[in-house]
Structure 1
Amino acid sequence: MNAETTTHHADLPAIRWNIGLLLPQHQGLPLTDGELAALANFLRTHTRLLITQVEQAAMQRPAEDVPRYVALACTHQARDRLHVQPAPDRHSVLVYARRLARALAALCDHHDALTDTTMCLACDQPLRDGEETLPYDHLSPSGGVARAGHIHARCANTVRRR
């Protein structure tokens, strides 16, 4: 185990922002080949870091805990994704980076769940004790609630562009 990965804490909002550059549902920005390569390296580095942190948080839970089991399965899948080497062409690197981004997004979610972190659904920043928040329910096209949670009061009138 690398000492750097155990002492350095992941910046989840920055990771989520970078993930948003790639995933189609966020309408990612066009990236040059160099930017795509740099983003793939960022995702690889932070996937390694978050695998360690999610595993450490999961091991604090009882062995029969379902969130622990699911989080550990996610770390195994993410580790498998790290071992893939894409072909050098742009399409292969883009597909690889998107797969890694989805695995990293899942790791972020497991990290939040295991550490009892609640995130603002508008800005992806942690909701801290004492901050003014508002309930938020995002309706899906089918009529059900797609995401329910809370947002910072300051985020109530902002438009999310991802």
Structure 2
Amino acid sequence: MSATRPAIEALELDLSTMRDLARRLLEPDAAPEALPHPADDLATLTCQLRGHLELLAPKVEQLALDLPRDSVPRYCVLACVGEARGKLRASPLPGLSGAVAYARRLARTLNALCEHYERLRGVGICPACEEPIRDGEPSVPRDYSSPSGTAARSDLIHTHCTNTVRRH
């Protein structure tokens, strides 16, 4: 029984699938008319997003609760989990545009939870391709500052993504 538990958890948290689903709704051309069968497809996508959020939120919350009580990351992650739960309690506005807006809010929240989960598990996210940087993958540090010049950060980027321009 315990040998199958890691396999089950791996299936439960397929973050790549979660991100792909969210990306379908967040692409700039994912307008209501761009969906194949707007009402049916959107209802299915929304149901999948809700399921992923219901699965991921408690896991992210547990990781956040392991952080020091007074840490800013803990506060931010718990706020995101609260936001996810609020969106799960909410209902879409009537009509197709209300349903699309609701699904997109769920997708943005799912992306944020995926990122928190990966960061709390010690996995970095490549800012160019938005995929995890796994142990042993070639990566290089990237330093950048805010537009105002007041803050500087450093993160990792895949070696093959160093010349990639992010278009979001």
Normalised by the shorter chain, which TM-score bucket? 0.7 to 0.9
CA offset digits 1:77-115 (Å, max 9, x no partner):
110110112245211111111111122222122212322
Q: Distance in 2 between matches of 1:159 and 1:45?
A: 32
- Per-residue deviation, residues 98-137 of structure 1 (Å, max 9, x unmatched): 1111222221222123222102233333212222123456
The structural deviation recorded for 1:38 is 1.6
Who is 2:96 aligned against? 90
Alignment match, 1:125:
131
The aligned counterpart of 1:22 is 25
Counterpart pick for 1:116 among 105, 118, 122: 122
Instruction: Name the structure 2 match of 1:40.
Output: 46
- Any unmatched runs of 5+ in structure 2? none
TM-score using structure 2 length: 0.73
Scaled by the length of structure 1, what TM-score is found?
A: 0.76
Q: CA RMSD in A?
A: 3.0
The corresponding residue for 2:76 is 70
- Report the identity percentage: 43
Instruction: State the SS of the aligned residue for 1:27.
Output: coil
Opposite residue 109 of structure 1, the aligned amino acid is E
Deviates more, 1:92-101 or 1:26-35: 26-35
1:146 to partner: Cα distance: 10
